[in-house]
Structure 1
Amino acid sequence: MLLSLRIENFALIDHLDLELGLGLNVFTGETGAGKSIILDAIDTVLGGKVDRRMIRTGAKRAILEATFEVEAAISNWLAEQEIDLVDGTLAVCSREITLSSGKVRSRSRLNGILISRKLLDEVRDRFVEITAQGQTLQLSQPGLQRDWLDLYGGADLLAAKQTVAAAYSKTKQAQNALENRRQFEQQRLQRLDLLQYQIQELDAANLTDADELEQLKQEQQRLGHVVELQHQSYQINQLLYENDERKAASDLLSQAENILTDMVEYDTQLQPILAMVEDALAQVIEAGRQISSYGEQLESDPERLQEVQDRIQQLKQICRKYGQTLAEVIAYYEKIQAELKDLQTGEQSLEALEKAYQEATQKLIFVCQSLTQLRQKTASKLETHLVKELKPLAMEKVEFKVEIHPIEPTINGADLVEFCFSPNPGEPLQPLGAIASGGEMSRFLLALKACFSQVAGSGTMVFDEIDVGVSGRVAQAIAQKLHQLGQGHQVLCVTHQPIVAAMGDRHFHVEKKVIGDPVSNDGSEERTVVRVSQLNNNQRREELAQLASGRSATEAIAFAESLLTEADYLRQFYTNY
């Protein structure tokens, strides 16, 4: 229950402290007086959207604070969130809205502790239920009708709905895995084809030595210049070892050796030089023999030269496709061999994923069927209950049915829920939004809230002009229903109907006033503010007279007194009933 509401610098309200109580709390005032600002403040402090217009002109900060007296269930929930109650029973929800550098920011606290938006949404769901004028237009939406049916079904139905949501999520995951695998399968097969072709080509190339290309290039040079190499080999041999026309290097070294041998006999210090000449002579003779043998072995081999050239061309072509060097090509060859093996044996089979998807789908269908059965039972109860609540609202002959049509499974089940309605005898049942008038929609919504309040505990219920567009006997019926809702609950209601206002357990008057701006030095500047005051019996009589006729005439006062007298009688009647 909302005990108090404190507002500072919010819209047209400079400062307001409002004390509320159990039962029906009504708010009246002229059109545009600011009644909805009170409800906007309740909505905002519990997480509603904020914008810069909510901060009073000239101010930089707005503060909203709502104090609730909580029941055991909410107290236990707050304990789970590690939030202690104030004085053992109170929860104080506050929100600070600031304007800085043209940007609006807000911070929310619960009993002084900063809380997240997600937690604030949970607080709102537990503390307050706000029904605005435009919500009657949403009654025709099948999604909202389904949610209300589920809410009426209580814990068992909501638990079944969560089971469906979990099964649906698992089914979508299995479906996504299967679709991804199918898409991957196409890519895998394409990749397999490419790898198999490349491996086949590299296998045919018989790559074993990373230096093969360089070796072949050297062999190509040798085979391509056999004649030149033979001639040059003969020349070297002539210079080093065998020369008929002039002395060769070996002949000159032999002469030097003989002279040094004679010199050593006289001076042994020349022995190292002699040894070097001897070594040089031996190396020159050996080099001559080897170059001679090399030249004799050289022979023209056009076939081998063609083989080498063909192999070089093949390896260069391979390098252009798979790597800059033969070493890189061999490394790539080893890599794609490993990849091919993984693609052939390393992935979960498509059949296993298809089986998992089928099993998840069957489970989803099963839990959806269970949810449908619960909804059908709940629909039957709601039909009976809602008609019972509608009859006192001047709808004695009303017919109501919850149609449940099968659809493809979704996260909310496999049901399309549609409220069908016939307000007049002899008229067929049709979708609620297609035939119900504004007044009928208001009464339907009110009856629906009455059904919810009886099957589950409800926090503060807020109605913003739920009685708009009705009058006379219908207005009286709505007034009585709002009062009944207030028995054991707290109801806040903005109304223009004197009949509804008369049934209030507390009556608040909302008005705009123009006052001198305290910020100005001489008070000459004027500001508009909203003021709220709780009315006593005499003030209520005057207010009801104004609502009824727009002036405090004798007849209007008498009518107001009669409304208050009848309201007292009805309150006593329902209290004792």
Structure 2
Amino acid sequence: MLLSLQIENFALIDSLTLEFGAGLNVLTGETGAGKSIILDAIDIILGGKISDRILRTGSHRALLEASFQLSPILKDWLTAAEIDELDDGVLICSREISNQQEKLRSRSRVNGVVINKQQMAGLREHLVDITAQGQTVHLGRANRQRDWLDHFGGAKVLDLRRTVALAFAQFQQAQQALEQYRANDQQRLQQIDLLKYQLEDLEQAQLTEADEQDNLIQESQRLGHSVELQLQSQQVYEALYEQEQGAACSDLLGKAEATLTEMGTYDAQIQPILELVQEALTQVQEAGLQINAYGADLETDPQRLQDVEDRLTQLKQICRKYGPTLADAIAHHQRISAELAVLGGDEQSLEGLEQRYQVSQKELTEACVQLTQLRQAAAQTLADRLLLELKPLAMDKVQFQVALQPTAPAAHGSDLIQFLFSPNPGEPLQPVSETASGGEMSRFLLALKACFSQIEDVDTLVFDEIDVGVSGQVAQSIATKLHALGKHHQVLCVTHQPIVAAMADQHFQVAKQVLDAEQAHERTVVRVTALEAPERRQALAEIAGGQSAEGALPFVDTLLQEATALRQGKKKRGKKALDKTTSRQKSVRS
């Protein structure tokens, strides 16, 4: 339930605080007084669209705030959104709007925590249902009628509708995949030819090791300089181990070893030096033996050198095509092998895609049939309940039907939903938007909301001039219906009907006021007053009689007595009394 509303610098409102109560809350005032501004503020707080004219002239920031009574559903929402509850058991929604560099920016908060547009839209469904005058236009739209029927059908219909939407998405994916496969078949065959050529080229290269190219480069260098390496290895051997002229390194180390050995007999400090020389001698001898064996094994092999050069040339070409490195070429070989295996199985892939398409089409069709069956049952229930709601609204002879016509399966099912309406006996059923008058549309919409109020969990219902275009007995019926809704919901209603206003549990009067009227800088503001019994009687008289307000007071007293009787559950007045009140209202206005 909406507990309070605070508005700052919004349209013609400089600062305003309103406190609402349970039951029926009405706002009255002259045309253009600013009643709808209050409802616009509620809509904008809960994520409604903003325009350039939203800020009060001369202001760069507006703040709108609404406090709601916390309910179990709202507690669950706060838990899911990870937002803490407030200590006083109230949920506070606010929206700050500012003008920054000629651009409007806004920020929404719940209990002080910034939330995004999607979160606010989800929360709004549990807080307020606003029925504005413009909704009578939307009433004739097929998609709106479909949504209303599905929501009336409840969780089963909505769950199955989500299943249909998922099945339709899978069907579309399967259809697109099959169409794309068929459209790209020529391109696929060309791709297969290219991959086969590359695969044959790579397989002929017989690539196995990523470092083969580096190893072949080293072998090529060794084979190309084998003569030089043999000569140089002989020179190293002679220098280390065996020298024809002069002493080799091993000979010199041998002499040094002998001398150090003799010195060691006189001084033990020589021993470490002796060990170093002995170790060096051993390593020089071993190096000499190994270099000698290396030189002996070296052979000049022109054919092997040519084979190595040819292989290197082949590998360089492979790397230019599929590289840049040999490792990249090997990875490309593996990749195209796998890709060719997929593309090559064309018959199997086509068969799989066709099977997937047929299965998804069957699943979509079956889900749509089930959804249609649930909708048919919901349509009959809605028609029966709506006729019951319309009967006390002076529309007891009306005919109503929810027609379902088959259409191609889509995300919302395979039904075209149409609300058919006939307000007069003997007249055929026609689409409601083409048949109902303004007053009938208002009553129809009110009855529809009454049907939904029994299944929706929203606490606050808002009506913006739902009684437009009606008078007399019809206005009384609407007033009674609004009051009945107020027994189970909080109802906010903007009205010009004194009969409706008389039924209110709380009555607010909206008026414009000019500040500093005697000075050069005049400003117009909207003021809202919560009316008590004396002020309310006078306000109702002004609504009923206009300039003849004093003459309308007896009529107003009658209205208030009737309203009190209805609120107290007394027997409804007869048709004669109602006609008398209606005729008296006409005489007062005339």
* TM, length-normalised to structure 1: 0.74
Structure of greater Rg: 1
Amino acid at match of 1:531: R
Preserved contact between residue 67 and residue 92 of structure 2 (Cα < 8 Å): yes
Alpha-carbon distance in 2 for matches of 1:342, 1:164: 36
Encode CA deviations 1:206-227: one digit per residue, 9 max, x unaligned: 999xxxxxxxxxxxxxxxxxxx
- Conserved? CA contact 2:496–2:543, under 8 Å: yes
Which residue number corresponds to residue 75 of structure 2?
A: 75
Q: Which amino acid aligns with 2:449?
A: K
User: 2:127, 2:80 → 1: CA distance?
Assistant: 16
Query: 1:561 and 1:129 mapped to 2: Cα distance?
Result: 32
Asked if 1:567 corresponds to 2:569, the answer is no
User: What is the SS of the residue equivalent to 2:33?
Assistant: coil
Q: What is the aligned-residue identity percentage? A: 54
CA contact (8 A) 1:484 1:574 kept: no
Matched residue of 2:569: which SS?
A: helix
**1:452 aligned onto 2:448:** no
- Does residue 1:3 correspond to 2:13, yes or no? no
SS at match of 2:493: strand
5+ long unaligned stretches in structure 1: 209-323
Q: Is the 8 A contact 2:322 2:332 kept in 1?
A: no
Please say if residues 516 and 527 of structure 1, whose CA atoms lie closer than 8 Å, have aligned partners that are also in contact: yes
Deviations 1:338-375 (A, max 9, x none): 78755541247121122112111111111111111111
Counterparts of 2:496 and 2:197, CA distance in 1: 84
Alpha-carbon RMSD? 3.2
Relative to structure 1, the CA distance from residue 119 to residue 207 in structure 2 (aligned partners, 3 Å threshold; closer, same or farther) is closer
Matched, 1:365 2:365: yes
Match of 1:543 among 539, 545, 555: 539
Alpha-carbon spacing, 1:535–1:359, altered in 2? closer, same or farther (3 Å): same
| 1:185-214 CA-partner distances (Å, limit 9, x unpaired) | 3321133356668999x89xx999xxxxxx
Aligned CA distance change for structure 1 residues 181 and 514 (closer, same or farther; 3 Å): same
Counterpart secondary structure, 1:64? strand
Q: 1:532 and 2:524 equivalent? A: no
1:412 aligns with 2:408: no
Deviation at 1:504, TM superposition (A): 1.0
Counterpart Cα distance in 1 of 2:395 and 2:97: 45
Shift of residue 491 of structure 1?
A: 0.6
The residue that corresponds to 1:397 in the other structure is 397
Q: Deviations over 1:43-93 (max 9, x none)?
A: 011111123321111111100110000321222222222222223531000
Contact 2:26–2:504 under 8 Å retained in 1: yes
The corresponding residue for 1:131 is: 131
Unpaired runs of 5+ in structure 2? Answer: 207-315, 573-590
Deviations 1:127-157 (A, max 9, x none): 0001100101111111111110111111121
* CA 15–367 in structure 1, closer or farther in 2 if over 3 Å, else same: same
2:467 and 2:41 mapped to 1: Cα distance?
21
Change (3 A) 1:105 1:399: same
Which residue of the partner structure matches residue 58 of structure 1? 58
After superposition, what is the alpha-carbon deviation per residue over 1:291-319, rounded to whole angstroms, capped at 9, x for unaligned?
xxxxxxxxxxxxxxxxxxxxxxxxxxxxx
Residues 163-174 of structure 1 mapped to structure 2, 5 A cutoff: 163-174=163-174
Asked if the contact 1:192–1:340 (Cα under 8 Å) also holds between the matched residues in 2, the reply is no
For 1:16 and 1:336, how far apart are their aligned partners in 2? Answer: 72
CA distance in 1, matches of 2:473, 2:103: 49
User: Is 1:506 matched up with 2:506?
Assistant: yes
Cα 1:369/1:525, change in 2 over 3 Å: same
Q: Is the 8 A contact 1:154 1:456 kept in 2?
A: no
Q: 1:248 — aligned with what?
A: none
Aligned AA (2:553): I
1:558 aligns with 2:554: yes
Match of 1:250 in 2: none
1:408-447 to 2 correspondences below 5 Å: 408-447=408-447
Which residue is 1:295 aligned to? Answer: none
Q: After TM superposition, what 4+ stretches of structure 1 lie above 4 angstroms from structure 2?
A: 193-200, 324-343
| 1:575, distance to aligned residue in structure 2 (A) | 11
Mapped partners of 2:159, 2:396: distance in 1:
35
Whole-Å separation in 2 of the counterparts to 1:131 and 1:159: 26
Alpha-carbon displacement from aligned partner over 1:12-41 (angstroms, at most 9, x marks no partner): 100000000111111111111100100010
CA distance 1:159–1:325, change in 2 (3 Å): closer
Supply the AA of the counterpart residue of 2:125: D
Q: Is the 8 A contact 2:538 2:549 kept in 1?
A: no
User: CA, structure 1 residues 158+198, in 2 after alignment: closer, same or farther (shift >3 Å)?
Assistant: closer
How many residue pairs align between the two structures?
464
Report SS of the residue matched to 1:67.
Answer: strand
Residue 524 of structure 1 deviates from its aligned partner by 4.4
